[in-house]
């Protein structure tokens, strides 16, 4: 009688197969690769798939008991049926693991794609601000009193093709000959009643900062000057020289 307690195992040995323990049945044995991945001696992977197990059948003519003990035929069919059921469940478990891995990879790929999309949108948005300009140009008036008046205008964002209306305003307190840049902060790009700020430091159009006018404070007795403003690409202000606009 075969050893039924120890399941039959197939092992690769050279080019042949070893069956342990040896079991002989009336019906020839069948081998099924169900799910998972096989590895040969070189550790190269072979893709497998789950198949529907083909189970042997008992008939009414089969002898199940012999002298009070299960027959070899019955034990063989029972053993084979149990092994194939276990293999089928193992294959399904492997498929669930594979599907989970695929879902995780798809989620990771989607996250990377979204991050790339967000980064692209952020870069485009930053460039849209850096390239934005006033319409009309030359909205600043620099007086010899140290005051700078900003006329109402539109802020144009060329990449997105949008614009907003910006109210007038002023800054003051600058010395004769000072080169002043006037700007306002508007992260939401809503325009309207903004607060104008003047500085003698170099600033750039980024992080919500919008430059509106740059110029020198005239000497006492000199008339006001318009200075320069960020202008549309290719536009040359009157006088033929486009004033400096610090853009990073």
Three-state DSSP state, 138: coil
Q: What is the pLDDT of residues 170-213, one digit of tens each?
A: 999 999 999 999 999 999 999 999 999 999 999 999 999 999 99
Is residue 109 domain-resident?
Answer: no
pTM, to two decimals: 0.56
User: Which structural domain range is residue 148 located in?
Assistant: 134-216
End-to-end CA distance of the chain: 87
Which residues, at least 6 apart from 226, have a Cβ–Cβ distance to it below 8 Å? 138, 140, 141, 142, 213, 215
Lowest-confidence region among 22-26, 53-57, 76-80, 130-134: 22-26
- Same domain, residue pair 84 and 157: no
* 13 plus 91 within the same structural domain: yes
- Residue 97 above 50 pLDDT? yes
Residue 235 or 226, more confident = 226
Any domain includes 208: yes
Last residue of a domain, one of 85, 100, 115: 100
Other C-beta atoms closer than 10 Å to the C-beta of 210 total: 22
CA-angle at 51, arms to 47 and 54, nearest 5°:
145
pLDDT, residue 237, reads 64
Average pLDDT over residues 121-127: 94
């Amino acid at each position: 009688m075969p050893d039924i307690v120890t399941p039959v195992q197939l092992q690769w040995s050279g080019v042949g197969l070893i069956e342990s323990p040896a079991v002989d049945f009336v019906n020839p044995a069948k081998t099924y690769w169900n799910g998972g991945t096989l590895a040969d001696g070189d550790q190269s992977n072979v893709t497998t798939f789950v198949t529907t197990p083909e189970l042997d059948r008992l008939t009414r003519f089969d002898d199940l008991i012999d002298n009070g003990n299960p027959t070899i035929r019955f034990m063989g069919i029972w053993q084979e049926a149990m092994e194939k059921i276990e293999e089928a469940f193992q294959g399904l478990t492997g498929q669930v693991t594979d599907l989970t891995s695929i879902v995780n990879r798809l989620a990771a790929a989607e996250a990377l794609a979204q991050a790339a999309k967000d980064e692209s949108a952020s870069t485009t948005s930053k460039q849209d601000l850096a390239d934005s300009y006033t319409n009309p140009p030359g909205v600043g008036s620099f007086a010899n009193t140290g005051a700078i008046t900003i006329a109402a205008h539109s802020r144009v964002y060329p990449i997105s093709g949008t614009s907003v209306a910006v109210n007038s305003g002023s800054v003051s307190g600058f010395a004769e000959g000072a080169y002043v840049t006037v700007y306002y902060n508007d992260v939401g790009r809503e325009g309207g009643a903004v607060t104008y700020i003047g500085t003698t430091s170099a600033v750039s159009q980024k992080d919500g900062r919008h430059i509106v006018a740059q110029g020198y404070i005239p000497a006492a007795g000199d008339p006001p000057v318009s200075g320069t403003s960020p202008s549309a690409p290719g536009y040359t202000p009157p006088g033929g020289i486009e004033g400096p606009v610090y853009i990073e």
